[in-house]
Structure 1
Amino acid sequence: MRDILHLPVLSAALPELLAGEESLGVRVRWVHVSDSLGVAKLLDGGELLLSTGAGWSADDSLLTQFIEDLVRVGAAGLVLELTQGIDRAPLAVREACIRLGFPLVVLHKEVKFVAITEAVHSRIISDQTEALRARDALHDLFIGLSLRGSPADYIVAQLSRVLDAPVVLENINHQVVAVETLAAGDDILAGWELRSRSARREAAGACATTGATAGTGATGTAATVSAATDTGASAGWDIVPVEARGVRWGYLVALPGEPHPAGRLQVMEQAAVALALGRLADRDADEWTRRGHEQLLAGLLGGRYLTELGVTLRLEAAGLKVRDRMLLGLVLAVAPDGAAVAAALAAATAIGADAIAAAYPSANPTGRSAQLMVALSLPAEARFPDAAASAFAQAVGQALSLSSPSGAATPAAPVTPDIAIAVGGEAHDAASLLASLEEAAELLRRNSSAPRRGVEVHRVENRPLLRLVTALGSDPRLQAHSEQMLRPLIDHDLEFGSGLLAVLTAFAAHPGNRTKAATASHLSRSVFYQRIALIEDLLDVDLDDGETVSALHTALLARGSLR
């Protein structure tokens, strides 16, 4: 209605809005011309009625009933051309329109109704053509994404850009799988689960109130939470389920934004189809969970967040409670595939903890990491002793052995797997959780070459120097110390391939026990002693001096944390 009032053909007739300003956002589907007070029975809703008032009754009750009938059938508004017979809108008509919020416009200058009809219909058809073109383009976009196997987070990002509004993909438990916030920031995720559940109830209630049939609304095809049904933070949300073959995996939620020519819900439904096709193609039933956790933890480790509060909100929206909790970073020496992620999440649930799990980012040239990282959230007063860590690793290892496709018969008794788990320091916020994960990864890397028998638990509390170096790893002064102390050995290894750094690492790991150090270096004692003597000569140090060994150990740890 608002757009129609600004059409040149209508502006030339000097229009005056007498009522219904609050309803000018209503969409006009068609234009109808009639002077009959019984015209309502000929309308289907969405029509703009043009009239000269000729033949209108002077009975106020009939005029009031006329307006009430137009509102009842869903007419968009009434345009009354003032003529010599009617120089003003009847008072009963005006009062009824004001009371019902129904747009009433009078024209002070004569105009051909056919010109108005032509202009409005042309605009409607033009908008419909634009919508069809937009839908075709969107169909090509999202079907192309699904055919290329684009991940869920990329599809969500493209949908967000198309709608120019924040978009969230959540699973059926209202945990955020992927999100694109645009300029809105991570604050939109505050209290996400509660707000999402409330929005779903409001949308379902609105559908029930308006008499929607089964299969529509928040529990069916699509729904909008309008300000009329929700005065809270979820007003204006559009919600579309992601489902196929009778299986529902989650929902797409678009936060308030400008209208789209193809219709916001229709755009979202195209994106939901692309997501559903991707899920059908996934061999891993928990692909969404795995990818979502990978992005969260990779973003945390890579510092790809603006504020600590922002990353806290993202973690909590994904189901990991952060505030007022005891947090731990765990890293396990297992292949981080979908089965490992599922096993880790199940092990966390078994001890009453929240968790997110993913592959630890690796510099492995093959691009495949052999470490599974887990961010664990426990009640603030809880503890995670070695026995709990061992049980956690054993549960993951046994779950992986049972899910192995080897085809071997399931053993009568569970077999204790050969697996290592590293436990970082206790954390109580997102920043210290990051440190805990990095500590655990470095600790496991330091112990990755040793043969394993059963479950091995490594705790950063038992390696205070490693914890210090990990915390200061990006400090340029520590990097300079490492370079200064080790440069002669680095140059010698690069030129002759002598492996002196590895020998010194074994020596520092087993101070006072050269026999064990030689074994760890895979060298005979005589060769090991020769290499130690060469190291002392190149560095001009005495490796029997405790302070020197500590300084070299620190340099080695710093070099390892930077590689």
Structure 2
Amino acid sequence: MPAPTPPSTLTVRDVLTLEALAAGRPEVLAGESGLDAPVRWVHIAEDTEAGGLLQGGELVLTTGLAFRRSPALTTAFLRRFHGAGAAAVVVELVDDDGAPDTEAIATLRAAAAVVDAPLVLLTRRVRFVQVTEDAHRALMAQQVTRLERARHVHEVFTGLGLENAGEAAIVQTTAELLGSPVVFEDAAHLVLSYATHGEDPTRLLDRWTNRSRHVGYLNHTGFGTGGERWLQTPVGLKGQRWGRLLVPGPAMQNDDAAWNPDSWELDTWELTDALQVLERAGQALTMARMAGRDRRELLIQARAGLVQDLRQASPPREEEARARARALGLEPGAGYVPVVAKLDGGAEGAEDATAVQLSERAFLDALQEWAARDHHSVLAASLHAGSVAILLLLPALELEDATLHRLAAGVHAPGLSWTLGVGRPDRSLVAAARGLDDADQVADTAATLASRRLPFHRFSDIRLRGLLSLLGQDPRVKAFAQAELAPLLDPPAPELIELLRDHLEHGGNMSSLARARKVSRQALYAQVRRLEERLGVSLDEAESRASLAVALLWHELAGR
């Protein structure tokens, strides 16, 4: 069932266009600026005493029989009814023959000079009963539509709650119901989720944090104070507000209307509807929070979503990517460098999945604490199990090494250690994000190094190991390595593989190797001869040692 369209409020102008009333040739004598005032009811009255029955917002129909001959009585009648809150007074002035009563009309025109509210003259006979019937029918239809709209909004958000919908679905639904962009931010004005409703996301999120800081918080649904005139509703339990939902511009009920964040043109009903939708959305987000989604989790998810989008084959435009990144805490700069932190022991098995997630969270927390403490700007998110992607802002490209050293030295998480892989920096955020794959490869390979003396690694630091890591799935490399090591693998001879590894690490120096293995040189020579016989090659040949070193390194990497 489609959503009921929110009705426009019935105004004085609308009533004047009703066929039954238009037949009287209505002429506005005063108060034209008030013709768009809402009409709550239509009331027929012939004397001033009836003014006491009004509650405000009524359109009063009268023939003026009790006052039309007296300027003083006419003025008193008009002032009495307008003072009682009448939206407009419509006076029919015709004689017994149905012709315009010129004398009474002149009196009414004179009285109009002292009236501020809408005063309308009818010079043709009108069926007042038909006017009230038509107007009341329109008002009742509006009430039914409003009730249907309220029921629909209630059902939509109830359904989202039952489906355990995430914040993105709630925000998107809110934007669709309001017909305008909606942004969900945390207490630090970082964007957790947003829906553009067809608008340019770059424009929507431009300088978001700074703009939002000037829109004061409210503990209820309404217009923010100061800054831009945004509708907002708090998200969180009373006394524990941890974010808010914002409509940074008018909630447009007409999908064809252009979004203008600097102006709001909502009538009473539209504003009431917008407040109702926004408040229900805030409640839905709060319920999601109570179901286990804390603010940090939402921010991590939002950042992870951006990182994933940037790594797609068709990433966002650079302007949109920068706007989204800035809204998530990554400021613009001279360039960005992609970094991947591989947590030691990060992904040993499915049974450790929870431990891996906790380790990633601890690292992310430590990273954000460092960024806040040392005033660095980063965008970080889980890349895959045991690895965290980092896009690090560079104030200047020549400060890359200095910034990376501060990162490596400044992030501390008790009980955790990690290897940092670094890709190529770039002035483009989108291009830098593409370098995360290279950084991930470097981190994964550097983690296999027996000695990691460097605080971070690039491809130039992992040399042959890096090349083999990149070519590890190449069938030709696999065939070469397996052929070289076949005599030691079938049948398996782990003690000879270990001897080969030690021999290669000591560069064939038998004295050094004998001391390391704590055996005599005579015994070592016997072991090496047995190894050479098994392999069918001489380890004195440089090419043999190089081939076996490459094969053994590939075997170790493949085993990991």
Please, what TM-score do these two structures have when normalized by structure 2?
0.67
Matched, 1:391 2:409: yes
CA contact (8 A) 2:205 2:327 kept: yes
Deviation at 1:154, TM superposition (A): 1.3
Corresponding residue for residue 156 of structure 1: 171
Residue type of the alignment partner of 2:250:
P
Q: Structure 1 residues 378 and 64 mapped into 2: Cα distance closer, same or farther (>3 Å)?
A: farther
- Bigger Rg over Cα: 2
Three-state SS of the structure 2 residue aligned to 1:256 is coil
Q: Is 1:377 aligned to residue 393 of structure 2?
A: yes
Q: Is the 8 A contact 2:445 2:462 kept in 1?
A: no
Instruction: After TM superposition, list the pairs within 5 Å mapping 1:540-555 onto structure 2.
Output: none
- Amino acid in the other structure paired with 1:431: V
The aligned runs of 1:99-178 (5 Å cut-off) are 102-178=117-193
SS in 1 for 2:309: helix
Superposition deviation, residue 96 in structure 1: 5.5
Please give the alpha-carbon distance, in whole angstroms, between the structure 2 residues aligned to 1:56 and 1:530. Answer: 126
Tell me which amino acid in the other structure corresponds to 2:326: E
Supply the RMSD in Å over aligned alpha carbons: 4.8
Deviations 1:474-502 (A, max 9, x none): xxxxxxxx89x9454578999xx99x9xx
Structure 1 residue 276 and structure 2 residue 286: aligned? yes
Find the counterpart in structure 2 of residue 30 from structure 1: 41
AA matched with 1:515: L
How do 1:34-73 residues align onto structure 2 when only pairs under 5 Å count? 34-36=45-47, 42-56=53-67, 63=75, 66=78, 70=82
CA contact (8 A) 1:418 1:453 kept: no
- For these two proteins, the number of residue pairs brought into alignment is 460
2:235 to 230, 238, 242: 242
2:194 to 169, 174, 179: 179
1:190 and 2:190 are equivalent in the alignment: no
- The answer to whether the Cα contact below 8 Å between 1:344 and 1:374 also exists between their aligned partners in 2 is no
CA contact (8 A) 1:419 1:455 kept: no
Contact 1:67 1:93 in 2 (8 A): no
1:441-499 superposed Cα distances (whole Å, 9 cap, x missing partner) = 2322333444687995224575799999x9xx9xxxxxxxx89x9454578999xx99x
Q: Are 2:369 and 1:346 equivalent residues in the alignment?
A: yes
Partner of 2:427: 428
Q: Secondary structure at the match of 2:457?
A: strand
| Deviation of the 1:156 alpha carbon | 0.4
Distance (Å, rounded) in 1 between the aligned partners of 2:177 and 2:532 = 65
SS at match of 1:183: coil
* 8 A Cα contact 1:160 1:167, kept in partner: yes
CA-CA distance at 1:425 after TM superposition:
3.5
Q: Which runs of 5+ in 2 are unaligned?
A: 1-10, 96-100, 254-268, 344-355, 490-501, 508-526, 538-542
| Aligned residue in 1 for 2:446 | 447
Structure 1 residues 326-345: aligned runs within 5 Å: 326-334=335-343, 335=356, 337-345=360-368
Q: Which amino acid aligns with 2:128?
A: F
Rounded to whole Å, the distance in 2 between the matches of 1:445 and 1:78 is: 81
Partner of 1:288: 298
Quote the Cα distance in structure 1 between the aligned partners of 2:240 and 2:41.
Answer: 39
Task: Report the secondary structure of 1:28's partner residue.
Answer: coil
Cα distance per residue 1:360-405 (max 9 Å; x no partner): 1x4xxxxxx2212223335448655353132234x1x22xx4xxxx
Residues 83 and 466 of structure 1: CA distance in aligned 2, closer, same or farther (over 3 Å): farther
Structure-2 residue corresponding to 1:536: none
User: Given the alignment, which residue of 496, 499, 504 partners 1:515?
Assistant: 504
SS in 2 for 1:292: helix
Tell me, in whole angstroms, the C-alpha distance in 1 between the residues paired with 2:236 and 2:45: 46
SS at match of 2:94: coil
Q: 1:488 to 1:287 in 2, by over 3 A?
A: closer
* Equivalent residue number for residue 245 of structure 2: 252
Match of 1:90 in 2: 108
Q: Secondary structure at the match of 2:146?
A: helix
Q: Which amino acid aligns with 2:146?
A: A
SS at match of 2:250: coil
Cα 1:126/1:91, change in 2 over 3 Å: same
Q: Which of 314, 318, 322 in structure 2 is aligned with 1:308?
A: 318
Contact 1:38/1:66 (8 A) holds in 2: no
Query: What is the TM-score normalised by the length of structure 1?
Result: 0.67
Q: Distance in 2 between matches of 1:530 and 1:64?
A: 121
Specify the code of the residue in structure 1 equivalent to 2:408.
S
Change (3 A) 1:161 1:486: same
Instruction: Report deviation, 1:112.
Output: 2.9
- Taking structure 1 as reference, are residues 253 and 456 closer, same or farther at Cα in structure 2, changes over 3 Å only? same
Alignment of 1:439-478 (within 5 A): 439-450=438-449, 456-459=455-458, 462=461
CA gap 1:435/1:532 in 2 versus in 1, 3 angstroms: farther
Alpha-carbon deviations, 1:95-136, whole Å to 9, x = none? 566xx5x44444443323333223222322222222222222
Counterpart amino acid of residue 15 in structure 1: P
Stretch deviating more after TM superposition (133-142 or 102-111) = 102-111
CA contact (8 A) 1:287 1:338 kept: no
Question: Judging changes above 3 Å, is the alpha-carbon distance between structure 1 residues 391 and 7 closer, same or farther for their aligned structure 2 residues?
Answer: farther
Going from structure 1 to structure 2, the CA distance change for 1:285 and 1:309 (only over 3 Å counts) comes to closer
Q: How far 1:169 moved relative to its partner?
A: 0.8
**Is contact 1:330-1:373 (8 Å) kept?**
yes
What is the deviation of 1:266? 0.4
The answer to whether the 8 A contact 1:80-1:105 is kept is: yes
Contact 2:175–2:181 at 8 Å: present in 1 too? Answer: yes
Corresponding letter in the other structure for 1:330: V
Name stretches of at least 5 consecutive residues in structure 1 with no aligned partner. Answer: 202-217, 363-368, 402-416, 474-481, 501-512, 519-523, 534-540
Give yes or no for contact 1:419–1:456 (8 Å, CA) kept in 2: no
CA distance in 1 between partners of 2:432 and 2:84 (Å): 59
